[in-house]
Amino acid sequence: MTLSPAHRSIFLTGPFSGDGMRVAIKDCIDVAGETTAAGSRALAARPPAARDAAVVARLRGAGCTIAGRVTMHELAYGVTGVNGWTGTPINPAYPHLVPGGSSSGSAAAVAAGLVDAAIGTDTGGSIRVPAACCGIVGFKPTFGRVSRDGLTPASSSLDCAGPFARSVAAIERIMAMLVPDWRDTPTPRAPRVAFMADAGDEAILTIARAAAAAAAAITPMTLPGLAAAQQAGLRIIGRECWDAFAPLIDGGLVGRDVHDRLLAASRVTDADLTEAEAVRQRFGAEVEALLADFDAVALPTLPAAPPSLLAATDPAAALPMTANCRPFNLSGHPAIALPVGEAGGAPVSLQLVGRKGGDEALCALARTIPLFMKGETA
């Protein structure tokens, strides 16, 4: 593969093997013989992985071409995709905006047409946010549905591996490779969707609502626990990242934004964590109650336009990007981000959230949403 200068900040190594679908792999996922640095200079001296992560092994087994490893926000602990060590991937359709994180390279590679699909990870929106920023499809499965064996960090109560693609059909094709019991599901008849009417800027809500209404009967609803779930998710990811990466802090090799976030995370107390776990239980029950009456919950993936690369120099200002995504990592429900239009020259993405274990049904519903791909008819 020959990369243009604009795309050289996406791929780290590759290609490796296969002659089927071309799939890029995020740098926190083991590829045998390659160093899994998770986008960080602090992990660059790790020994090469002895074997493929489970997701990579399954893709190889299905005949996929592992097109290469792609860059990411350092240690998967950021949402802009800005990385001062590996370089920041250019957002192909919206080059003035951030590519989103942490799976920035995965999204950019798909959006640029360099691969058919990519695998990323999502702990607080890290598949859905970059998919929304780059105007493509990104899917976070039900927590635990896809194996995390061979991922960095090794342990997480929030994180999921999942695919990016330019169509829902391609997402389903990859999921059938990753999940042994994946079952083709027919398009739903007369689906009902609960639309979160207060979950974004008005221009974005208008476009997202129209996209949802084109495929389902929508009812305006609210999730009162959404904001509390966002804060609880931040506390849990903070504690888990601190537990995983605290030894890296003193080496002087972690980028400033992630270094500062890790130090802040070190102050999450056991009491904070206990409170966050209580919110997890309450919010999960709240979502379950809503999904007892509806086929899916719908809301914008991003509540506002993605920030510019210039604005992304303030990492704290980017955290609201995850306000509509992180809560569903906390609850463990599957969620898919779908490009549905533009507002003010920025992409608009619709997020659908489904029942736990109902990943196939959620994708079947997502098939019916009209997609918007900048510069083409999807």
Catalytic residues: 26, 102, 126
Question: Could you tell me which of 275, 43, 283, 11 has the C-alpha nearest to residue 154?
Answer: 43
| Cβ–Cβ < 8 Å for 122, 329 | yes
| Cβ–Cβ < 8 Å for 330, 275 | no
Q: Which two tokens stand for residue 339?
A: 């490009």
Residues 13-17: contacts with CB under 8 Å, at least 24 apart: 13/68, 13/69, 14/66, 14/67, 14/68, 14/69, 15/65, 15/66, 15/67, 15/68, 16/65, 16/66, 16/67, 16/68, 17/60, 17/65, 17/66
H runs (alpha helix) in 224-265: 226-245, 256-265
| Angle subtended by helix axes 226-245 and 256-265, to nearest 10 | 100
**Residue 304 phi, psi dihedral angles, 5° rounding:** -145, 175
DSSP at 307: P
Report in angstroms the alpha-carbon separations of 155 from 27, 147, 232, 249, 377.
16, 12, 18, 19, 40
Report in angstroms the alpha-carbon separations of 234 from 127, 129, 350.
16, 15, 22
Beta bridge partners of 69: 13, 25
